[in-house]
């Protein structure tokens, strides 16, 4: 029997249209974009067309998009590159529930003498706007906030956050890796300095992402060498990935509203059964406009989440205990600790994330497997 994949927040399968767009660049379109002959020049033009496509999806300028190896590199570059460009300021503000790409980058800078302010969150995962504003001072270099949390689906009020940063003349970096394709993003409506995307979260290939850098914002390169990516990110371009990301972004934007509605409906139907059939709590906001539509994160009373996840895996239900970047840990994640899940529930956390291949008819099988799994690990 076919397994049921419920871990779309970790990664998505490559869309067939995306794959078809990429295939020629593995074979007949193999030219190095930096080569000054027909094969190279043609591929350089393709990269520029792809850059324009991604820029249009965000409603920004083409020259504000820089391709990277993924979201982690883009976030590292945003924070460290900006710190290198403006070394006179030594304080950075982030939330307690950032992705590890942000947390670990800031911990690295902490060792270099930077002071990191961690804004607390409430039980739903929302940051305190008042505490954010009160943390900003004349030595604040940057604010970095995750738009939609990858574990509990909390969608922050980026409009209000961006206005606070603008009022204090402080740069804002936003991790939009989970948000893009699920919620509407039009950067002309926000004062955001930098923004991170990763293609494999919206049915594109792995190993490709991008960093948006608003015109007028300076960042120093992380990778030195050639003149690729407008002299800002050296290395032969991953043209197959770039083409795939552009195509995936284009499809994601055209389908965003219907995708949101589909995932919202399926999440609602599955959630009704979960809370009816199990002693569990939903972590993060209630279902609706302030939560990612495909994200369901539950903590079960007196259950070890890793044991349940393993049992489900052996029975063809593929979920996670949280972020794939921390999947080898049996301890509750920093996100679950930050929202103060009760002690009797905190170790029993399982994240379910929905996507294109999940069907309403899969719900009874998912519920049945969870019942069997819980009975087996108690």
Catalytic residue set: 325
Residues 6+ apart with CB under 8 A from 331: none
d(CA 302, CA 344): 6
As a whole number of Å, the end-to-end CA separation of the chain is: 26
For residue 121, the 8-state DSSP code is: B
Q: Which of 281, 79, 98, 235 is nearest to 172 (CA)?
A: 79
- H-run or E-run covering 38: helix 38-58
The answer to whether 345 and 281 are in contact (CB under 8 A) is: yes
Q: List, edge to edge, every strand of the sheet that includes 280-282.
A: 280-282, 295-300, 349-353
d(CA 308, CA 320): 10
């Amino acid at each position: 029997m076919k397994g049921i994949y419920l871990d779309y927040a970790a990664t998505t399968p490559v869309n067939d249209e995306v794959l078809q767009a990429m295939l020629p660049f593995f074979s007949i379109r193999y030219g190095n974009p930096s080569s000054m002959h027909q094969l190279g020049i043609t591929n350089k033009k393709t990269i520029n067309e792809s850059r324009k496509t991604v820029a249009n999806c965000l409603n920004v300028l083409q020259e504000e998009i820089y391709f990277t190896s993924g979201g982690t590199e883009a976030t590292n570059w945003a924070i460290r590159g900006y710190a290198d460009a403006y070394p006179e300021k030594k304080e950075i503000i982030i939330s307690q529930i950032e992705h590890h790409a942000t947390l670990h980058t800031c911990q690295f800078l902490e060792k270099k003498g930077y002071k990191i302010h961690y804004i607390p969150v409430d039980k739903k995962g929302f940051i305190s706007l008042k505490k954010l504003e009160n943390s900003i001072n004349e030595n604040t270099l940057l604010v970095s906030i995750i738009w939609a949390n990858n574990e509990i689906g909390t969608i922050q009020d980026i409009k209000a956050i961006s206005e606070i940063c603008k009022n204090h003349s402080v740069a804002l970096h936003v991790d939009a890796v989970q948000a893009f394709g699920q919620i509407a993003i039009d950067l002309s409506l926000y004062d955001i300095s930098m923004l991170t995307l990763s293609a494999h979260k919206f049915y594109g290939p792995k190993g490709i992402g991008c960093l948006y850098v608003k015109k007028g914002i300076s960042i120093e390169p992380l990778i030195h060498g050639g003149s690729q990516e407008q002299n800002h990110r050296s290395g032969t371009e991953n043209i197959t990935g770039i083409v795939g990301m552009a195509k995936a972004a284009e499809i994601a934007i055209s389908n965003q509203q219907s995708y949101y509605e589909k995932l919202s409906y399926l999440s609602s139907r599955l959630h009704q059964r979960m809370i009816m059939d199990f002693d569990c709590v939903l972590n993060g906001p209630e279902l609706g406009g302030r939560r990612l539509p495909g994200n369901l994160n539950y903590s079960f009373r007196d259950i070890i989440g890793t044991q349940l996840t393993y049992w489900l895996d052996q029975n063809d239900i593929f979920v996670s205990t949280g972020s794939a970047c921390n999947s080898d840990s049996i301890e509750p994640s920093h996100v679950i600790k930050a929202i103060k899940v009760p002690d009797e529930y905190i170790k029993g956390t399982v994240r379910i994330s929905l996507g294109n291949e999940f069907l309403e008819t899969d719900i009874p099988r998912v519920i049945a497997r969870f019942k069997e799994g819980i009975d087996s690990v108690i």
